[in-house]
Structure 1
Amino acid sequence: MDITRLETFLLLTELGSFTEVANQLYCSQPAVSKQIKTLEDELGVPLFNRIGKKNHLTIQGVYFKRYAQEIVNTYSMAKEHILQLENLEEGSINFGATNFIGVYLIPEILATFREKFPKIQINFTISSSKKLIALLENDTIEFAFLSGYIDLIKERFVIHEVFKDNLKVIVNSNHKLANRTSITFSDINDETFILKGENSSMYKFLCKRIGKDFFKDNVLLKISNQEGIKEAVLKNLGISIMSEKAVQHENKLGLLKTLDLKDTDLTRSINLVYDKNHNLTPAAKEFFKCIE
């Protein structure tokens, strides 16, 4: 059913004259008559009794007018809301990130976006990469920020690198290596490493870059939470490897020290990921601009 025909019908119920409707719509009288005839054919009932120069609603027309008005009003409201979405006067974004990215990288972007678009509702999920991929696949979230070493189906997802993250060896400020800026494998060969478990993406990344055998006997303490790992290093229970961004505060306070591991590239990519078949909302597109 055509909205224009409904609007013409409603105007005719007000004016009662095909000629007046045609004048107001800047079209010919036959064009108006054709629209009304098409509408009556679609419904299978007459909508007007034509008495003299005036057109009066039939009983079917009286009932239909109420519904036609509701349809036109709803359509008008939908257009207005869509326009507001396009102009970012309302709307929402749903996205996610893994723990490190969500805690240390996203807040600054959120602040920039919030300042520009204060009326947009933000639904932000911090979870494991596995859960975030599942949320992407069932369209619960529009996009996610994931580490570059996460395995994704490239045929399904758009993957953009948005950050470079440098991993460092971290030690307690009282550790024997704390006065160094860089170290070799031989310097830490006998150290106790505090890392996430074998199933974590970080552990898998380190095994690929450093070698699984290196951690075979050295990882004596496994903590799933990044903050817990930092606390363990602060208590001098061992050393760890994590993003230098995650320990900026402790580094400035002189509580922890970051060290480069010589001859080893511990730089990882942080990627923005979304489904190729998903139509991004205007709010999501503007959020992407805040990253650039």
Structure 2
Amino acid sequence: MKWTEFRVHTKNEAVEAISNILHEAGASGVVIEDATDLTRGFDSPEGEWVELSPEDYPEEGVVVKSYFPESSHLQETVEGVQHSINELSHYGLDIGANVVTLSEVEEEDWAHAWKKYYKPVKVTSELTIAPSWENYTPFSSEEKVIELDPGMAFGTGTHPSTLLSLTALEETVQKQDEVIDVGTGSGILSIAAALYGAKNVRAFDVDEVAVRTAKENIELNGVSSTVLVEHKNLLADMKAQADVVVANILAEVILRLVNDARANLKTGGSFITSGIIRRKKEEVREALTAGGFEIVEVLEMEDWVTFIAKAV
């Protein structure tokens, strides 16, 4: 079977939105080649994350690749994806050069490409993310492991906004906490919350494909009894009193979410907001403060910002 590789050269701040667009269009996974990965330090229980070759990465920015099976609707799908990516600029995202190239790959080459990019990586002091085929063994009883299959998920946990979210959850979630994950995507944050001891986690996403993907990953990690995934738009019509609400989504969406998040949190509960590009930092900070939150901690990596805020 032959596949078409869709390749777009963009900027870091547009990566997650583009990945989501490709996922919704039916791409069989997404590969992210970020120039900053060549200089970013990742810890690994094995002493190194993965040997990276500069030849596989752009000189600047990010290349996002995805794979579509050949079909009579391929041209229509590609045009739809390009249109959706172009529309991101209307949301204030810098899509960079936005240069798209298409190429044909054989099935065996496509399958091999996945394993080239995914190795076990220690993403926080307690948490390691490993591909499902690695048969990874934790080095200690304290180490927590999330297994992901890139064929199912469009997030591997190594994007800065996801890393910051995982770090914030590690600092915040207490045993027996009730957690809400808004815009769960691959389900990685919900899985992490469950591993950190949450009593129950409700994971929401407006995209039905993401809901299915999250359910598959949650089952793969054995936390189905703790995490409930639902097809839902943000916190519409919710009446909960959670201990933690986490949202790793666009800053523009977080701004609309603040009041509903406060209404669904216990006093003293934590609102973790990520996916915020640095130039939106103060706007989100002001909205959180005006919405009944006290900023407890600000985490930053590259151009990305995460807030941990307490409901007051």
* TM interval, short-chain normalised: under 0.3
Larger Rg: 1
Structure scoring higher RCO (CA < 8 A, sep ≥ 6) equals 1
If each structure's strand is expressed as a fraction of its own residues, which one has the higher value?
A: 2
Q: Which structure features the higher share of helix residues?
A: 1
Q: Provide TM-score, normalisation by structure 1.
A: 0.25
